[in-house]
Structure 1
């Protein structure tokens, strides 16, 4: 696939420096900044240990920890959810759980540790605020520096995903963009994660991705271990209309 135009980039002191002009994690095209569960009512008596009922997993009818206001933002046709729950409003630490919708409800899959932005979360994300946007966003496009690991989403392999420099805790950023999934916050669906079109304007940031974890906070993205990013890319299916639901626990419970 053709490479996108790349421009050199510098970010604020103590932040990240790119080896190319790409910048995920909350950068703009100009700045290139990178960066309560449901319960089941008990029945009388107790099933035998080897019964089918005792072995059947409990599938919550609603996404655990996600309140009515957040649920209302999930499209009716969404059959896959990447639920990112931050430890706190100002924390860069979060957890990711994959869910798929079944006739019984939302069935949980893998659970993974993750990082989000250095300063936590916000309902009103702006470029350079070092917070990840809270909300429900579609997932339609992927890419990376490495070959396609078997992604079902359209995958743009490009040297434009090369990154160098150090993170907020001095960790190397090399390989952070080996695999990415664009989060459709201020991103044009159906385009490469490298596309710098910003439907909400440059001031509202962009380049918010799921990408490979580098061991520290991000500028605005959500990061996972490389093996988990590979699994995610092989799992997300455009036919199931996947979305990401992301924010701190208190905000998601609204």
Structure 2
């Protein structure tokens, strides 16, 4: 009788014990081939909040190095390949991180290529410009100021940031420009991923260019599930 009771109790405890899952990067289709990864995951495509986590691959396993609350676009997230400019949506997918920048000096320990913002730094988003989706020192003649970000005017939000390689290598006009991982402001973003200032500093001190970090952006499930990327 006691044996039967013990077995029944053990079965109940087993059901109540959560099954240990592989870490998120281990469940993804692709992580970019490096040994560092940032994941930006939202509960669903309409979400404007979620979690950014940064990971190290050590000893053949992905280990969480840190995490922080995140903000996404005011209109949620959308598949990167079908995104349209001006929609305030965050593009999902797996992207490179070309370089970091900021109004403030690079945080102590930063090894990543880092560009300091000046009063002449712009990010062109003009679809008619040859500088589309590129940093420019001095506003290019073919890039309208109304279709560009004057980086220094973004204050604390661009104190420190990482360029997300969305639509970057071979820019498609109309798909979107100026998608960054940056310091969060008061509310959702215009399409970027944003984290608290302290988290942004920690990410820059953690990232090592030789380990080829990428960022994966997606949702917990559905067509834009982060594990698909």
* Shared fold, TM over 0.5: yes
- Whether 2:115 is the aligned partner of 1:141: answer no
2:129 is the counterpart of 1:129:
no
Q: Quote the residue 2:205 is aligned against.
A: 234
Question: Which residues in structure 2 correspond to 1:71-86 (within 5 Å)?
Answer: 71-76=28-33, 78-86=34-42
Q: Secondary structure at the match of 1:99?
A: strand
C-alpha distance in structure 2 between counterparts of 1:87 and 1:66, whole Å: 19
* Contact 2:29/2:227 (8 A) holds in 1: no
**Structure with higher helix content:** 2
Distance of aligned partners of 1:110 and 1:87 in 2 relative to their CA distance in 1, 3 Å threshold: same
1:181 aligns with 2:162: yes
Q: List, as ranges, runs of 4+ consecutive aligned residues in structure 1 with deviation greater than 4 Å.
A: none
Please name the residue that 2:226 is paired with.
Answer: 252
1:143/1:156 contact within 8 Å kept: yes
Contact 1:65 1:249 in 2 (8 A): no
1:216 aligns with 2:187: yes
Q: How many residues align?
A: 172
Matches within 5 A, 1:30-49: none
- Shift, 1:65, TM fit: 7.5
Distance 1:222 1:100 in 2: 20
Provide the rounded CA distance (Å) in 1 between the counterparts of 2:50 and 2:185.
14
Q: Highest CA radius of gyration, 1 or 2? A: 2
Aligned to 2:117: 158
Residue 66 of structure 1 and its aligned partner are, at CA, apart by: 6.8
Which residue of the partner structure matches residue 47 of structure 1? none
Name the structure 2 match of 1:206. Answer: 177
Residue in 1 that maps onto 2:47: 91
Q: What is the match of residue 29 of structure 1? A: none
* Aligned twin of 1:10: none
RMSD (Å) for aligned C-alpha atoms: 1.9
Q: Normalising by structure 2, what TM-score?
A: 0.70
Counterpart CA distance in 1 for 2:158 and 2:98 is: 17
- 1:86-109 Cα deviation digits (max 9, x unpaired): 122111101011111112410012
How has the CA–CA distance of structure 1 residues 143 and 113 changed in structure 2, closer, same or farther, with 3 Å as cutoff?
Answer: same
- The structure in which a higher percent of residues are strand is 2
Contact 1:97 1:112 in 2 (8 A): yes
Distance 1:135 1:221, change over 3 A: same
TM-score w.r.t. structure 1 length? 0.63
The yes-or-no answer on 1:64 pairing with 2:24 is yes
Which residue number corresponds to residue 34 of structure 1? Answer: none
